[in-house]
Structure 1
Amino acid sequence: MSDNTPKIDEISGTETTGHEWDGIEELNTPMPRWWLWVFYASILFAIAYAIAMPSIPLVNSYYKGLLGASDRKQVAQEVELMGGQKYELFNQLNGETLEGIEAKPELFRFAMAAGKSAFGDNCATCHGSGGQGFKGYPNLNDDVWLWGGTFEDIRQTLTVGIRSAHDDTRFNIMMAYGREGFLTNPQIDDLTQYVLNLSGQEAEQQAVLRAGTVFQTNCSSCHGVAGTGDQSQGAPNLTDNEWLYGGDAADIRATIYNGRQGVMPNWNERLSPEIISALAIYVHSLGGGVATPQDTNTEDAP
């Protein structure tokens, strides 16, 4: 006849289960009641959730649940709501001034985000991901502008382009004085020295003196008598040392000899007016805004 008397652990004073492994006995310590109730509640919740919500895969479909909930439907509703909010913000950008946009923090943040995205998709290929530009492609991070650096100027440039197919495109022309035979090679050499001297670089002074009349006759109508440029014509300032196509003697001579007629597309056929406004906000923030005519050159346009 077996002894059914519970065995008590000498150290803890707790009843054992009678199981023993290598001299180690298992204590009979039940789970706390609160833990058991939480466990049972979790089971009941899982069953209720499986009945109420989509949960069980079927052969050709799935169990849709008593509530008919759908994450896909919820996401679609949220996307529709976001689209409506974006549409409203884009509408506010249409025709708005810089001051009006900056006065509305939410609109300004939205414009900056949308403009940065549009810049990465459409402008970074030529101007660089940070707007730093490359030789022949304008740096948009400085405050040096050919066609004007106001928000309205930038928006207009983006809309109509430069030497583009748009009827109202911004247009000027740097003629090929050498290739087209307007000036002789010695005159071009002297004129190169004259432009170097205007920008404060070392130049041959005798050549500078010889080129004075040539400059006034051929160049001053666009660049000004003093070479400080003219934003109304998109003519660069030659008295600073900022250059789109390079400012050493060889680059300047190549510009005078062959001319420069770079093209920037008119974006109105690809981008909406609202996106163009957002893009103008972003570009304006890169360049710091307005430059005076004395500070302008070819850095902002081909």
Structure 2
Amino acid sequence: MDVGNQDPVTGRLTTGHEWNGIEELETPIPIVVFLFLAAAFIFAVICWVLYPTWPLGTVYTKGLLGFDQRHVVTQQVAAAAADRATWTSKVEKMSYADIEADPQLMKLVKETGRTLFQDNCAACHGIEATGGPGFPNLAAKSWLWGGTPEAIEETIRVGINSTNDDTRVSQMMAFGRDGILKPDQILNVIAYVRSLSGAKSTMGDIEAGKQVFADNCVACHGENAKGSHDVGAPDLTDKNWIYGGSEQAVYTTVYSGRQGHMPNWGARLSPLTVKLLTLYVHTLPEASK
């Protein structure tokens, strides 16, 4: 058998294999590798003896320590549930004012409330509760049905235009489609409404629109256009537009009407969950308007 030549630099024999003039050395495996393999084998044997290891049909070797990861996890879950029950029982019994006055309790409420909000509400209102086309910006504090904790809780519980018997009901009439207003009146009232929040319009007459508003819109939005919590009519004087504040968006709203929808979460969520969501939404940092 050809064992190759002796390398002149290292003095070791080569394997006889050559690639482009480079010969492979016959290098022995370092002893430290065998030491690590032996240590790993010994460690494995110790683990086999001490911990649950080998499956034996429907059971398994228990190990000398009797360690059970499932039992550990069960204990951890039970401890977490007990800890949660301690503070959630306080939330259930305390008033909104007392809860919000307790910083430590509110820290837990906000952490849990944020998770609940993301799981149930973010699809419509967004992760940061800033809303989107057709869905109110909750962080702007421009409340349609009132911003007290009690009002927010009721809105969450019964919904808006939902299947609940006590649902909040709100609808914007289709002033154009139903022939209530003429085309020029629609353009005029759009110009007036947009002017209330400082926006300029390229069509319509503001003064004429003011009269159209007084004749057709004050019943819901009020004489000062600040809206009404009784009927869920939005404040038209701020810059928070649920369906958009462009001329085209406002035209669509006036012409075709609007009727939003919010599920009655009281049928899906527990009273505690509704209360946690109420506290989270009520204490959201106020966004700039």
**Distance between the aligned counterparts of 1:220 and 1:149, measured in 2?**
21
The alignment's C-alpha RMSD in Å is: 2.8
In structure 2, what is the Cα distance between the partners aligned to 1:54 and 1:224?
74
Letter in 2 for 1:109: K
Which structure is higher in RCO with an 8 Å CA cutoff and minimum separation 6? 1
In structure 2, do the counterparts of structure 1 residues 211 and 121 end up closer, same or farther at CA, with 3 Å as the change threshold?
A: same
2:72 equivalent in structure 1 = 74
Q: Gaps (5+ residues) in structure 1?
A: 1-21, 23-42, 290-294, 296-302
Match of 2:185 in 1: 187
CA distance in structure 2 between the aligned counterparts of 1:176 and 1:90, rounded to whole angstroms: 45
Code of the residue aligned with 1:197 in structure 2: it is S
Q: Helix, strand or coil: the match of 1:233?
A: coil
Of 159, 162, 170, the residue aligned with 1:161 is 159
Aligned to 2:278: 280
Runs of 4+ in 1 over 4 A off after TM superposition: 203-206
The answer to whether the 8 A contact 1:222-1:230 is kept is yes
Deviates more, 1:203-212 or 1:128-137: 203-212
CA contact (8 A) 2:190 2:247 kept: yes
Distance, in Å, in 1 between the alignment partners of 2:269 and 2:122 is: 15
Change in CA separation of 1:224 and 1:204 when aligned onto 2, cut-off 3 Å: farther
1:175-217 per-position Cα deviation (integer Å, ceiling 9, x unaligned): 0111112122222122112212322333579823333332222
Structure 1's 234 and 63: CA in aligned 2 closer, same or farther, altered over 3 A? same
Alignment partner of 2:54 out of 54, 57, 62: 57
Q: TM-score, normalised by structure 2?
A: 0.74
Shift in Å, 1:274: 0.7
The equivalent of 1:96 in structure 2 is 94
Tell me the CA shift for residue 65 of structure 1: 4.5
What secondary structure, in the 3-state scheme, does the structure 1 residue paired with 2:140 have? coil
Residue-by-residue CA offset, 1:83-106 (whole Å, 9 max, x unaligned): 233234333222633322234444
CA contact (8 A) 1:54 1:62 kept: no
Decide whether the 8 Å contact of 1:114 with 1:275 is kept in 2: no
Structure 2 residue aligned with 1:234:
232
CA 206–166 in structure 1, closer or farther in 2 if over 3 Å, else same: closer
The equivalent of 1:265 in structure 2 is: 263
- Structure-1-length-normalised TM-score: 0.71
Aligned match for 1:215, one of 213, 226, 249: 213
Counterpart-to-counterpart distance in 2, 1:224 and 1:114: 38
> 2:109 is matched with which residue?
111
Q: 1:257 to 1:287 in 2, by over 3 A?
A: farther
Greater CA radius of gyration, 1 or 2? 1
Query: Is the counterpart of residue 127 in structure 1 residue 118 in structure 2?
Result: no
Q: Deviations over 1:229-254 (max 9, x none)?
A: 22233221212232111112221111
Q: CA deviation at 1:50?
A: 7.6
Alpha-carbon distance in 2 for matches of 1:147, 1:179: 27
Deviation for aligned residue 1:121: 1.1
Are the equivalent residues in 1 in contact too, given 2:172–2:257 (CA < 8 A)?
yes
SS at match of 2:248: helix
- Residue 235 of structure 1: SS of its match in structure 2? coil
Flag structure 2 segments of 5+ consecutive residues without an equivalent: 1-10, 12-41
Counterpart contact for 2:190–2:251, Cα < 8 Å: yes
- Cα 1:203–1:213 change in 2 (3 A) is same
Give distance in 2, aligned partners of 1:87 and 1:192.
53
The match for 2:222 among 224, 229, 239 is 224
The structure-2 alpha-carbon separation of the partners of 1:166 and 1:229, relative to structure 1 and needing over 3 Å to count, comes to: same
- Provide the rounded CA distance (Å) in 2 between the counterparts of 1:55 and 1:202: 75
The change in CA–CA distance for 1:85 and 1:207 in structure 2 (over 3 A counts) is: same
Distance 1:78 1:212, change over 3 A: closer
